[in-house]
Structure 1
């Protein structure tokens, strides 16, 4: 009699040898089958008469395979270039692209690897509609991501990354060469499965895994140079002296020096990246090992960054029903970050060296005969070169990240899966500041205002550990024309973070003695702190498809967070989506235009609990003197409340509607989609004024009292054509139009932000009807030409509106007509949030050659030239354009003031266009013929030359219009690290 038996196997892509999840595996001639899991594996029970399997997946050519008595059947599927569909990794599972009802996007790892950048997020810039990525050129820094606009003012804005199931806020430790693909969940419906973590978008990263077969070795690298992509031209010594004399009435001191400070502190920086991978396995176990090294000097002297990464991914088939696997990675980075002076709580993040180079006088030498020029002899900024050469700032970070899973499939339609992920992070920050001694010469001293009588050492050690435990059950059934997938699960997450810091003076200059215990014990200071929080969640999802035409998805997640008070600790986040695959209808059969035509819509809620853990806890300061009768009596101690809190603080809730159409025309040569979204954040955190009560905290309270809305349209188009066997090309692009505004403060007061300095004060406001972080400044309406004009600019009482003004000074509008110029006369002057941002790309493949080019940009936003506003001593240097365009008696400019000593009021003068377009990447490659490679036992080899940020077209007069920051202070250039241009050579080799 025929015997039943089980057949198992792995389905991989013939192109990149990576597992393909979601493949349909059917017994030929029946409706019985299964679907491959996340690792491309399947198992299926067969009867003795069933000997043929059919493997099919949209995006690949179907394959029929005779079993012929085997128990293991591994299959390679060829890509089908005529189809649009692809697999999409969604939260806790996978779906076919055609079945998705939410808004998602996918980027392949090979596309990300083209760019010589630290993180894959940077390489994603301009490639996804609805996702704005704001980068910095600073080595070791991570870009800022905004998915469909800014949805908060004072809450957290960090997107969630899910790396092989491990939840994290930062992927700077992940080697781009390890990534198979990135799936971005943009709308609330697709992200709702992550509940409280989904408000700022979710990026799911899948790393490479081994496949059964012979040992495979691959190596890829790129080596090149970086340089500043754009520099502001500053006044030389002669121009500077003339300007200072006009501004102060006194000539600048005679000097033999003409120092180009940017030429002094900048360099062409060497960068390199190397990666080697080993993979293979059997039908019972597969493995992948990858090692990577990245080095980036940084364009500022002594600003070196290094990163070493290791990855080890294993999968085991313990039985026909049980699978086990783990993914692990280790990263070590060392950042010798000389980007300015730092303090204990911001190692390497904010500095002043670059800004000092902007302000430093050119008549001061940088260094001569071993002695540094005393820049403070003529203005109040330090010598940038002295800081770079005589301070040592180092950040050493180790990070271990990994996950393990156990999957049990008792029957072919039911899967239980448990996974445990962990992320451990240790950071040792050290800043050593050398002792500087004075010299007798006025212009050649070792320090000036940078004199330091004692050396000092600051160290900080921080530890963070996070774990997440997921347990899910998935049922997948096909009943005739009905396809149903049910998911239910529970997840828990916990983080503990601590730091200890110390500083001490009189530490020896020998680096081998840079320890706190070596210095003067009488100068010791210690500090410490930390954080801890936990989340617990229950989730469920149903995916339903009828006849592959009508789609429905519903998700519910219930989240509990310790960051919120018990009364508001739990929240429910529901979502649903529907889809209609119109091209599968009978009335579409006889047309030859649309290959794919799909309409979808969704609704969902997600949350944001990224607030300080103690935001709802009252804290007090003890041993404060208590006044009786208005007289302080120190002998009687009391307590004082440090802050006003809302004990009922709750979640920021994002509610979003999404409507879209997807299409593929002319045998899917032209593909695209158009999305409309309406995203509203209720209960947004904001400050509300309170009556002041005695000596307690200021009269404001941090609470949920605002609503922020983003509405927008995303358009994505791609054209691909295979001309012949030797030539193919593609052209594509995406654009996002977004409108952001505050639609209800609900009793809250407008938030002021973007502080520049004493004269400028705040520069942004977040208020009803305006975008978050809008520039709010005085309106200069010209320049005074004569003393008579100053005297005639009067209020209703006949008093001068600007009594201290002189010819050449700005004239400001008295907007509210109260007879004086003050903060009440400020007006809206645009915001950093663009009206539209876009990406364009093109590629050509001709025989063994390949060429690709990417553009990125945005339009309709403003930036604030803050560096021009911080000339506070009157003797700082100025830009060359200011020297020649300024108001004079002979050149009565109405846009540029006369020579001045700084301390200008915040006005539209400093607000400039932030629009730009940039060639983000340009790559030319050559793939060597296999006939040539076989002689040296190499399977594949490709050499390439690539350039990043090759050219930028912009209106902004500053260094870069890309200026990351928090929502209420973005778009202000003070000491921004300049955007860098990179040119590199590389090679990809497979054995």
Structure 2
């Protein structure tokens, strides 16, 4: 009995002591987080325990309460736009934490095969997070980056939802190799960014200088854009998080061509006595082919995270009805990102899977003067013609010169594409030792495109008695990469890292194209090519090829107390696209950073919070050329009759239009970059300034060569050099940071000057390249190429007769080389009269938070100092076409001032296209919801392209700046739209 009592007493005492101990092991910390400058409270600042999921956030007054283990010595305090601060806990239980503005000081950057702190960067790298991107209806995720990064031109001519954006970094230039950057998505190079839903993107990191892109070797010359997609994150707790967003967009044509009405044409005919076929109508053919476009966009995601794993799964669906009848785009994307830590964090397994289904319905609007060019026919057709006959059929006339009903073209012709994309990616992060880490990555990409085109026999515009085209294109890419990284810190002063890796990529392409004419049915279409009687006029075509890239690379970094920073990389890479003598090359880089504020000679200055000088140099390559240019190609050349037996046979011969070149190699970009990063006023104002010079040499071009001794008249070779020199500036300023109003503004601006240094070498000679051919009804003159590439000029330079006025009898006059004037354009001097290269580009973005619930953002963009050749005005302001064909209102003005000349390529039609555009305005409101399962709901309205200020006379001054030919606005541009988007975001 006594023994039992003693045992019970002992247990009771032990439990009391244990409870006392447990009670003492927890403590409650309270505090207030405020702005270090204004002393205003910071709402929803994060308070967390490093290395755990414990955390809290501040309330409306900046106060917080958190219960933690007594052993915790440090709390981490973070807030968007501010420098993260570690709070060392003492015996007190209430704290006041003052945060400094300037998140940029601690921001993380994703660079080639590594992640670094922004304060440690030594190259020209720009990061744009998801909350800074453009919003609203985005037909292409790259549109979200427009105007957000200095030196990055994201452009698109027109508003076709089925056409993509052109991306050009620092005036990237090439004659034939393409100027687009390399896209890397979650560590996988060469991914098509249009396969990503905009709501899945966490950030863009843009590598601009060659020192940053050299690690990507023969694909880094035009810059690299690294896209990181969203994933589940630690700290979200172990509960499932569901996000759903939806938006509806309404598109309308922002500006129509100012054409004559039917009554104006009748008045002109009566005034001049000219005879024409009057259909009695007064039709606006633009209104007949245009409509209000509607876009629906739905996004659903599921996310979860624990201490050892996280995942995010998302589904996105977008349906765009274009503003031209018959044009549409449907895109569905599924994405799964999963990560799992294993073996006590020795290994982290990452698996990513993404699939995209896309269907495009096209309308024909390219190709200049064409019987199937819907836009050209709508502009050219007389408004006196009616749309339909009394029986409902389309009205057509007996006129010649390819004059057809544009609405009939839209309804009769079938033109669509089905695309399927899949990306699978598995990677391992390995922690061998404290200082030694490994990374293994494998990826599989498959793209399948199937296109179908069909013109029925009775199409108004048909000249082939029915025509069908069916094509299929397939691409498979397999990628294997791995790295090993060793880091070492010596006495908290010297920090080293060495990374070595390998990359192997194989790309396989195959496809075919079959064309048929003389259809026997209008109902089956091109789904069954057997309905066509003629397959010989346009022979069937097929292909299959393979490209291989293999590389070894390494990077070494060193910093001394974060005062002096040094980085160097080298990549040895081989590409099967090039000749046997030049398949392998070296791509080195070196960069240096100097944090000046760490120097004692700066003393106790209080102006700068950050001041760093950077210097870099590197070599990167461009391998964007077609396959097999270094080989002798052999293929069928047609059919013949065997004279011995009279049977039909296929002839074979050397195919292709170029000679094989075993010395062909990549274009090389050698770039020097000087940069300054700065922050002042406790991070209230921060930014960077970059000065660069880029030399692109060994340009790839199809050079003319003599025959014989060559088999073909052209050889793809390397010769020539282009130089780009420019300045970039990025500024971030927290204008206001009060409890009731916060205002952050971002400015990205750049200027670039380009010059062609040379076009030839000892092996290949080239005096100049004539580009930008223009055409149109009534166009007269000898040379109709509007631009010339030659030493001393930039790509996109206009060289043409210079307009000198009108003669007394209404003829164009042009300047001659002797300084006189002539009406004979063949005797006029072809002069440099302008350039399509812009002098300045500016992006200005503003973000406002009003109170707790209201947010507003507005983004402006301006491109200044470039010219556009208005071919539409050239062709459609000719009064001699009246009254049979329609013209712009300017055609009447030209008639009234006595113009009698036909359109002639000259500076008369060259216009300054500088503009200021309000790209994007968003007003959002967060509902005050206190519900167990509903975390947040936000409604918003977005306006896109609401304001345009320009002196350009066409419907829109913006052009696509990619490639070697740009600067032409030619009567076949899909109209740009003005868009209003209504949407909401919710989180559960």
Q: TM-score under structure 2 normalisation?
A: 0.84
- The aligned residue for residue 559 of structure 2 is 545
1:951 matched to 2:947: yes
- The aligned residue for residue 289 of structure 1 is 313
Residue 640 of structure 1 contacts residue 696 of structure 1 at CA under 8 Å; is this kept in 2? Answer: no
1:643 matched to 2:658: yes
Q: Relative to structure 1, is the Cα distance of residues 935 and 169 closer, same or farther in structure 2, using a 3 angstrom cutoff?
A: closer
1:267 matched to 2:267: no
- The aligned residue for residue 632 of structure 1 is none
In structure 2, the residue corresponding to 1:354 is in which secondary structure?
helix
- The aligned residue for residue 667 of structure 1 is 682
- The aligned residue for residue 812 of structure 1 is 814
Residue 778 of structure 1 contacts residue 823 of structure 1 at CA under 8 Å; is this kept in 2? Answer: no
Residue 687 of structure 1 contacts residue 751 of structure 1 at CA under 8 Å; is this kept in 2? Answer: no
- The aligned residue for residue 836 of structure 1 is 840
Matched residues in 1 for 2:592 and 2:258: separation?
Answer: 56
Aligned-pair CA distance for 1:468 = 1.6
Matched residues in 2 for 1:965 and 1:459: separation?
Answer: 31
Question: Quick one: which of 495, 512, 526 aligns to 1:500?
Answer: 512
Unmatched tracts of structure 1, length 5 or more? 1-13, 27-48, 67-76, 344-348, 438-446, 627-634, 786-806
Residue 712 of structure 1 contacts residue 739 of structure 1 at CA under 8 Å; is this kept in 2? Answer: yes
Residue 412 of structure 2 contacts residue 456 of structure 2 at CA under 8 Å; is this kept in 1? Answer: yes
Q: Relative to structure 1, is the Cα distance of residues 564 and 696 closer, same or farther in structure 2, using a 3 angstrom cutoff?
A: closer
Residue 873 of structure 2 contacts residue 888 of structure 2 at CA under 8 Å; is this kept in 1? Answer: no
In structure 2, the residue corresponding to 1:214 is in which secondary structure?
coil
- The aligned residue for residue 777 of structure 1 is 800
Residue 155 of structure 1 contacts residue 610 of structure 1 at CA under 8 Å; is this kept in 2? Answer: yes
1:160 matched to 2:160: no
- The aligned residue for residue 30 of structure 2 is none
Matched residues in 2 for 1:707 and 1:494: separation?
Answer: 30
Matched residues in 1 for 2:768 and 2:726: separation?
Answer: 24
In structure 2, the residue corresponding to 1:301 is in which secondary structure?
coil
Residue 159 of structure 1 contacts residue 169 of structure 1 at CA under 8 Å; is this kept in 2? Answer: no
- The aligned residue for residue 631 of structure 2 is 617
Residue 597 of structure 2 contacts residue 611 of structure 2 at CA under 8 Å; is this kept in 1? Answer: yes
1:353 matched to 2:382: no
Residue 756 of structure 1 contacts residue 869 of structure 1 at CA under 8 Å; is this kept in 2? Answer: no
Question: Quick one: which of 137, 144, 167 aligns to 1:116?
Answer: 137
Matched residues in 2 for 1:24 and 1:487: separation?
Answer: 28
| Structure-to-structure mapping, 1:731-880, within 5 angstroms | 731-746=745-760, 747-757=765-775, 759=780, 761-785=784-808, 807-815=809-817, 821-822=825-826, 825-847=829-851, 848-870=853-875, 874=881, 877=885, 879-880=887-888
| Structure-to-structure mapping, 1:539-578, within 5 angstroms | 539-578=553-592
- The aligned residue for residue 3 of structure 2 is none
Residue 507 of structure 1 contacts residue 518 of structure 1 at CA under 8 Å; is this kept in 2? Answer: no
Aligned-pair CA distance for 1:583 = 2.1
More deviation, 282-291/486-495: 282-291
Matched residues in 2 for 1:550 and 1:606: separation?
Answer: 25
Q: Relative to structure 1, is the Cα distance of residues 622 and 503 closer, same or farther in structure 2, using a 3 angstrom cutoff?
A: closer
- The aligned residue for residue 90 of structure 1 is 111
Aligned-pair CA distance for 1:817 = 8.3
In structure 1, the residue corresponding to 2:255 is in which secondary structure?
coil
Matched residues in 2 for 1:507 and 1:327: separation?
Answer: 48
Aligned-pair CA distance for 1:160 = 0.6
Matched residues in 1 for 2:827 and 2:141: separation?
Answer: 43
Residue 916 of structure 2 contacts residue 949 of structure 2 at CA under 8 Å; is this kept in 1? Answer: yes
Q: CA offsets per residue over residues 310-353 of structure 1, 9 Å max, x none?
A: 0011111121201111111111111111244799xxxxx99721
- The aligned residue for residue 484 of structure 1 is 496
Aligned-pair CA distance for 1:211 = 2.7
Question: Quick one: which of 935, 940, 945 aligns to 1:939?
Answer: 935
Residue 572 of structure 2 contacts residue 586 of structure 2 at CA under 8 Å; is this kept in 1? Answer: yes
- The aligned residue for residue 891 of structure 2 is 883
Residue 863 of structure 1 contacts residue 911 of structure 1 at CA under 8 Å; is this kept in 2? Answer: yes
Matched residues in 1 for 2:45 and 2:136: separation?
Answer: 22
1:981 matched to 2:987: no
In structure 1, the residue corresponding to 2:376 is in which secondary structure?
helix
Q: CA offsets per residue over residues 372-418 of structure 1, 9 Å max, x none?
A: 23256264232211111111211111100121101221112111110
Q: Relative to structure 1, is the Cα distance of residues 179 and 376 closer, same or farther in structure 2, using a 3 angstrom cutoff?
A: farther
- The aligned residue for residue 142 of structure 1 is 164
Q: Relative to structure 1, is the Cα distance of residues 508 and 283 closer, same or farther in structure 2, using a 3 angstrom cutoff?
A: farther
Residue 350 of structure 2 contacts residue 427 of structure 2 at CA under 8 Å; is this kept in 1? Answer: yes
Matched residues in 1 for 2:965 and 2:310: separation?
Answer: 49
Matched residues in 1 for 2:579 and 2:710: separation?
Answer: 26
Question: Quick one: which of 181, 194, 200 aligns to 1:178?
Answer: 200
Aligned-pair CA distance for 1:497 = 1.2
- The aligned residue for residue 405 of structure 2 is 383
Question: Quick one: which of 521, 524, 527 aligns to 1:515?
Answer: 527
In structure 1, the residue corresponding to 2:288 is in which secondary structure?
helix
Q: Relative to structure 1, is the Cα distance of residues 851 and 54 closer, same or farther in structure 2, using a 3 angstrom cutoff?
A: closer
| Structure-to-structure mapping, 1:466-477, within 5 angstroms | 466-477=477-488
Q: Relative to structure 1, is the Cα distance of residues 492 and 870 closer, same or farther in structure 2, using a 3 angstrom cutoff?
A: farther
In structure 1, the residue corresponding to 2:930 is in which secondary structure?
helix
In structure 2, the residue corresponding to 1:567 is in which secondary structure?
coil
More deviation, 545-554/278-287: 278-287
| Structure-to-structure mapping, 1:6-85, within 5 angstroms | 60-63=83-86, 81-85=101-105
Q: Relative to structure 1, is the Cα distance of residues 773 and 571 closer, same or farther in structure 2, using a 3 angstrom cutoff?
A: same
In structure 1, the residue corresponding to 2:122 is in which secondary structure?
coil
Q: Relative to structure 1, is the Cα distance of residues 506 and 572 closer, same or farther in structure 2, using a 3 angstrom cutoff?
A: same
In structure 1, the residue corresponding to 2:317 is in which secondary structure?
strand
When the two chains are superposed, the root-mean-square deviation of aligned CA atoms in Å is: 3.4
- The aligned residue for residue 667 of structure 2 is 652
Residue 754 of structure 1 contacts residue 972 of structure 1 at CA under 8 Å; is this kept in 2? Answer: yes
- The aligned residue for residue 926 of structure 2 is 927
Matched residues in 2 for 1:868 and 1:526: separation?
Answer: 39
Residue 421 of structure 1 contacts residue 469 of structure 1 at CA under 8 Å; is this kept in 2? Answer: yes
In structure 2, the residue corresponding to 1:769 is in which secondary structure?
coil
Aligned-pair CA distance for 1:720 = 0.5
Question: Quick one: which of 185, 195, 215 aligns to 2:217?
Answer: 195
In structure 1, the residue corresponding to 2:286 is in which secondary structure?
helix
Q: CA offsets per residue over residues 592-634 of structure 1, 9 Å max, x none?
A: 22111111111111011111212222446777999xxxxxxxx
Q: Relative to structure 1, is the Cα distance of residues 909 and 969 closer, same or farther in structure 2, using a 3 angstrom cutoff?
A: same
Matched residues in 2 for 1:410 and 1:623: separation?
Answer: 59
| Structure-to-structure mapping, 1:662-701, within 5 angstroms | 662-693=677-708, 697-698=712-713, 700-701=714-715
Aligned-pair CA distance for 1:885 = 2.5
Unmatched tracts of structure 2, length 5 or more? 1-41, 53-69, 90-96, 641-648
Q: CA offsets per residue over residues 439-487 of structure 1, 9 Å max, x none?
A: xxxxxxxx2xx14674333211111111221110011222221122211
Aligned-pair CA distance for 1:227 = 1.2
Aligned-pair CA distance for 1:527 = 1.9
Q: Relative to structure 1, is the Cα distance of residues 824 and 472 closer, same or farther in structure 2, using a 3 angstrom cutoff?
A: farther
Aligned-pair CA distance for 1:767 = 0.8
In structure 2, the residue corresponding to 1:457 is in which secondary structure?
strand
- The aligned residue for residue 5 of structure 1 is none
Matched residues in 1 for 2:98 and 2:436: separation?
Answer: 28
1:972 matched to 2:984: no
In structure 2, the residue corresponding to 1:377 is in which secondary structure?
coil
Matched residues in 2 for 1:708 and 1:409: separation?
Answer: 45
Residue 310 of structure 1 contacts residue 331 of structure 1 at CA under 8 Å; is this kept in 2? Answer: yes
In structure 1, the residue corresponding to 2:132 is in which secondary structure?
helix
Matched residues in 1 for 2:124 and 2:951: separation?
Answer: 33
Q: Relative to structure 1, is the Cα distance of residues 529 and 640 closer, same or farther in structure 2, using a 3 angstrom cutoff?
A: closer
Residue 719 of structure 1 contacts residue 730 of structure 1 at CA under 8 Å; is this kept in 2? Answer: yes
In structure 2, the residue corresponding to 1:938 is in which secondary structure?
coil
Q: TM-score under structure 1 normalisation?
A: 0.83
Aligned-pair CA distance for 1:780 = 2.1
Residue 720 of structure 1 contacts residue 729 of structure 1 at CA under 8 Å; is this kept in 2? Answer: yes
